[in-house]
């Protein structure tokens, strides 16, 4: 067994190095690489993908994984057992997906974001349609390659992002939202035309001052700039490889200054999770969040439950006024709090309010499910998107840019990813209630002691990295199974009063 363990760990060391450089390429591409660099970078990325695939598909490495999996009971270290289980699960891709198709797909999605960005800039879905058709077609073949008696079709993609959640589980969850939340949302937003000062809605908020406030927020949330960085990108995201390097981006709109505030905080929620992993996982395959849903629970909790609270702005609104004295003159913290918590029908997911956000995700879930099972063609996406948005959110897009082209995810092949956003918000509500039983969250927020919240989450969620499943994490954290009632009740209570 020792020979297999040695071989596995040595190959893992090399694979992590390839992934590191691939990650650096991706970070550079999304933040500051010049437009004409894409072709040359793609050539280099293809070499990395080929070399990495050789390692993953090496017969000796695959044999090591299979033998170690057959003898899990002989592996004393529990974390290593989990890693081998995961590696064995991933092995099916190498064994069952044809090499040429897999590499071609990796190259395709490495170019996807650039093609999507141009299509979005031009407000023209037809520019992205051929690429998306190839991505969807590969994923349809991909699930056929990986089907098992337990998992078939779209379930395979869903399970990759959230272990234990498939169509059956998500249908039950989203049906709860359809029955309990959609009628409430449509009623609350029907005539919700709150009036706010024009300085909140029409004033110009200079980009340099927004950056300064983002830097202030970094200190408030204790995001360690010795192990992270904040830059700009078209679509805010978090990207990390270890507890010593986890980076975030945001985007500044001078006519929508709260966008950067909550994008920055959202991404810090993701980053703090990974930075607070136990460092022992850095050189293993277990570093990072255990699932997309648990990951999103952290960013949503920081963004919505902490940073949209009155307790938070009682403490930090004076700093915002200091940076924007003319724009926020005579605007009370109470009005600002109502402004950032207003519920309304909107078209853009990342700009959606907390109440309607999960309904945007539900639209994407239904579209993905139909794309993968063949009931929806890519060319029909724009119109179907508009129809579902009208049905669930109560507002119909008129352009591709504000509709089907608004998200980057499909361009990177991330199908099965979107549903975790809604699930994460539901996890967050359940976790918040559990944490509030042990610490007075509102008091800690008002006292500018986010460290106490970070530490509770480190102990109950973050430290475990991928060594525990989502269900195990939720049980450790809340001492009960997933219950979406917390989420629905939280939203109804909050937005009935706001």
Positions marked catalytic:
267
- Residue 69 annotated as part of some ligand binding site: no
In sequence order, what DSSP letters do the residues of 472-483 get, joined into one string?
A: HHHHHHHSS---
Tokens of 85: 């289980």
The answer to whether the CB of 294 falls within 8 A of the CB of 165 is: no
Count the neighbouring beta carbons within 10 Å of the beta carbon of residue 126: 11
Alpha-carbon distance of 380 to 383, in angstroms, equals 6
Count the neighbouring beta carbons within 10 Å of the beta carbon of residue 489: 14
Alpha-carbon distance of 474 to 476, in angstroms, equals 6
Tokens of 39: 């072709």
- Residue 337 annotated as part of some ligand binding site: no
Could you tell me the CA-to-CA distances from 29 to 22, 25, 262, 469 in Å, in that order?
11, 6, 23, 32
Alpha-carbon distance of 284 to 359, in angstroms, equals 37
Alpha-carbon distance of 403 to 363, in angstroms, equals 11
Alpha-carbon distance of 187 to 191, in angstroms, equals 8
From 211, 304, 291, 302, select the one nearest 251 (Cα to Cα): 211
- Residue 270 annotated as part of some ligand binding site: yes
From 336, 373, 75, 389, select the one nearest 203 (Cα to Cα): 336
Alpha-carbon distance of 471 to 420, in angstroms, equals 14
Alpha-carbon distance of 56 to 103, in angstroms, equals 12
The answer to whether the CB of 217 falls within 8 A of the CB of 265 is: yes
Alpha-carbon distance of 221 to 352, in angstroms, equals 23
Q: Where are the alpha helices (DSSP H) in 221-342?
A: 257-275, 292-300, 310-323, 333-340
Size of the chain in residues: 498
Binding residues for Zn(2+): 266, 270, 296
Binding residues: 266, 270, 296
């Amino acid at each position: 067994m020792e020979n297999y363990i040695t071989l596995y760990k040595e190959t893992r060391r090399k694979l992590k190095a390839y992934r590191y450089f691939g990650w650096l390429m991706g970070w550079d591409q999304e933040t500051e690489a010049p437009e004409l660099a894409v072709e040359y970078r793609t050539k280099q990325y293809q070499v990395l993908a080929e070399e990495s695939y050789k390692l993953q598909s090496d017969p000796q490495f695959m044999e090591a994984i299979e033998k170690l999996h057959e003898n899990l009971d002989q592996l004393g270290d529990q974390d290593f057992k989990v890693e081998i289980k995961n590696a064995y699960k991933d092995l099916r891709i190498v064994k069952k997906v044809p090499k040429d198709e897999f590499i071609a797909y990796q190259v395709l999605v490495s170019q996807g974001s650039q093609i999507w960005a141009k299509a979005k800039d031009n407000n023209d879905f037809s520019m992205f349609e051929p690429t998306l058709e190839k991505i969807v077609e590969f994923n349809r073949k991909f699930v056929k390659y990986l089907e098992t008696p337990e998992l078939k079709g779209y379930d395979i993609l869903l399970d990759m992002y959230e272990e234990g959640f498939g169509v059956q589980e998500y249908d039950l969850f989203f049906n709860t939202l359809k029955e309990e939340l959609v009628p409430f949302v449509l009623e609350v937003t029907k005539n919700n035309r709150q009036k706010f000062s024009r300085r909140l809605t029409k004033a110009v908020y200079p980009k340099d001052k927004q950056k300064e406030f983002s830097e202030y927020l970094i200190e408030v949330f204790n995001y360690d700039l010795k192990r992270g960085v904040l830059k700009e990108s078209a679509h805010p995201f978090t990207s990390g490889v270890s507890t010593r390097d986890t980076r975030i981006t945001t985007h500044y709109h001078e006519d929508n200054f709260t966008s950067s505030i909550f994008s920055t905080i959202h991404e810090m929620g993701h980053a703090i999770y990974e930075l607070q992993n136990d460092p022992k996982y850095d050189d293993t395959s277990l570093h990072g969040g255990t699932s997309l849903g648990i990951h999103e629970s952290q960013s949503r909790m920081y963004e919505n439950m902490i940073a949209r609270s009155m307790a938070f702005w009682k403490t930090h609104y004076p700093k915002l006024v200091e940076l924007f004295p003319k724009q926020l003159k005579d605007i009370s913290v109470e009005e600002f709090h109502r402004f950032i918590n207003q519920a309304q029908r909107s078209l853009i997911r990342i700009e959606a309010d907390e109440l309607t956000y999960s309904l945007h995700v539900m639209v994407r879930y239904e579209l993905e499910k139909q794309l993968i099972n063949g009931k929806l063609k890519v060319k029909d996406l724009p119109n179907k998107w508009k129809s579902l948005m009208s049905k669930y959110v109560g507002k119909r897009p008129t352009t591709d840019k504000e509709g089907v082209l608004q998200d980057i995810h499909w361009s990177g092949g991330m199908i099965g990813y979107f549903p975790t956003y809604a699930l994460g918000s539901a996890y967050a509500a359940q976790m918040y209630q559990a944490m509030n039983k042990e610490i007075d969250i509102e008091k800690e927020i008002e006292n500018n002691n986010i460290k106490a919240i970070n530490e509770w989450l480190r102990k109950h969620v973050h430290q475990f990295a991928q060594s525990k499943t989502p269900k195990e994490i939720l049980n450790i954290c809340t001492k009960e199974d997933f219950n979406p009632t917390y989420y629905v009740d939280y939203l109804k209570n909050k937005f009935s009063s706001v």
